[in-house]
Amino acid sequence: MSRTSGAHTPDTHLCVLLQSEVVLSAFQQHKEVKLKSSPADLVTETDQRVEKILISAIRNRYPQHRFIGEESVAAGEHLELTDSPTWIIDPIDGTVNFVHRFPFVAISIAFTVNRQTQFGIVYSCVEDKLFYAQRGGGAFLNGEPLHASGQQDISRCVVVTEIGAERDDVALSTMTSNIRRLLQLPVHGVRALGTAAVDMCQVATGGADAYYHIGMHCWDIAASAIIVQEAGGVVMDTDGSEFDMMSRRVIAASSAAVADRIAQVIQAFPCCRDDEDNCGCGATGVN
Ligand SMILES: O=P(O)(O)OC[C@@]1(O)O[C@H](CO)[C@@H](O)[C@@H]1O
Ligand SMILES: [Mg+2]
Ligand SMILES: [Mg+2]
């Protein structure tokens, strides 16, 4: 057994790798697509199936543990992160990619105790890349150590972000003006792969220097946040405060200097916290 409160990470790796077969075998097939919170927030039978299998396999082994799963929450389960050992699961991060066969889709699993992430796994299925980090143990890609770039100068950065599922005017104009502001600094480039989990892992590899996102959910970024931190990167809220996986805002960067600069430049649009229903912020779309 590992130090992570009884949760044995190699077992979890195996579970994830087995489920990736389910994702890959469905990848080329026609999918029945349903909409969730917006016309760009999609779910397929494979998302639901993978989440069910993962939860039942982990629950079998750790019956006392709790779960926060994207599709369980979409089905009405209450989302609450407590001090209890908790698995935070995104069965397919990049469902739009999955539906269109755009080849970046990931299974993302984080494990928390006392609300602190102990380890995170992001498996980019088509690329066959397993990103992994354990608190205090470093970050790895297919077993090789990962290091963020350490870049300090925003004008030499590749910055990754996502235009999420929101389609209301305030969100769209904020997202597009944020990209414009960064390009005007200037940065070397702005990129988007369509999966927050894999996007953030690019910061851990040093292939990108920063990632920011407003409107994602805890399951999109819980695992990749510890992977960035353990690769020597910095993770914070877009307002410059401490990272809070429930806030729906994140900056992940190669250095504190780059993270601070992005926090100064970008603006957030309102969205309810993941752990708060109907917060009254007036946001529409993916809440
Ligand atoms: O619903 P999914 O696929 O688990 O996650 C949605 C997502 O991949 O799409 C957005 C980018 O378009 C990101 O906010 C997020 O990571
Ligand atoms: Mg996701
Ligand atoms: Mg998903």
Note the pLDDT tens digit of each residue in 109-144: 999 999 999 999 999 999 999 999 999 999 999 999
pLDDT at 273: 96
- Answer yes or no: are the C-beta atoms of 120 and 224 closer than 8 Å: yes
- Answer yes or no: are the C-beta atoms of 129 and 142 closer than 8 Å: yes
Q: How many CB atoms lie within 10 A of CB 231?
A: 25
Q: Which two tokens stand for residue 238?
A: 């877009």
Q: Which residues line ligand 1 (CB under 6 A)?
A: 70, 90, 92-96, 162, 164, 194-196, 216, 220
Residue 33 scores a pLDDT above 50: yes
Residue 285 scores a pLDDT above 50: no
Q: What is the mean pLDDT of the chain?
A: 93
Pocket test for ligand 1, best of 44, 93, 105, 161 (most atoms within 8 A of CB): 93
Element (H, E) at 234: strand 234-236
Residue 248 CA to ligand 3 center (angstroms) comes to 15
Q: Give the 3-state secondary structure of residue 108.
A: strand
Whole-structure pTM value: 0.95
pLDDT at 38: 87
Ligand 1 atom closest to residue 96's alpha carbon, by position in its atom list: 3
The arithmetic mean of pLDDT across residues 145-160, rounded, is 98
CA proximity to 262, closest of 154, 160, 173, 150: 154
C-alpha dihedral, 162 to 46 to 87 to 205, nearest 10°: -40
The architecture in CATH of the region 154-265 reads 3-Layer(aba) Sandwich (3.40)
Residue 164 CA to ligand 2 center (angstroms) comes to 10
pLDDT at 6: 65
Note the pLDDT tens digit of each residue in 178-195: 999 999 999 999 999 999
Note the pLDDT tens digit of each residue in 196-247: 999 999 999 999 999 999 999 999 999 999 999 999 999 999 999 999 999 9
* Cα(96)–Cα(40) distance, integer angstroms: 8
Q: Where are the domains of the chain?
A: 9-145, 154-265
Ligand 1 atom closest to residue 40's alpha carbon, by position in its atom list: 12
The DSSP line for 63-74 is TT-EEEEHHHHH
* Cα(245)–Cα(247) distance, integer angstroms: 6
Percent of the chain with pLDDT over 90: 87
pLDDT at 5: 58
Residue 13 CA to ligand 3 center (angstroms) comes to 18
pLDDT at 19: 86
Note the pLDDT tens digit of each residue in 253-275: 999 999 999 999 999 999 999 99
Residue 220 designated active-site:
yes
* Cα(237)–Cα(193) distance, integer angstroms: 21
Residue 239 designated active-site:
no
Domain 9-145 belongs in CATH node 3.30.540.10: yes
Q: What interface predicted TM-score (ipTM) does this complex get?
A: 0.94
Element (H, E) at 184: helix 169-184
40: left (phi over 0), alpha (psi -120 to 50) or beta: alpha
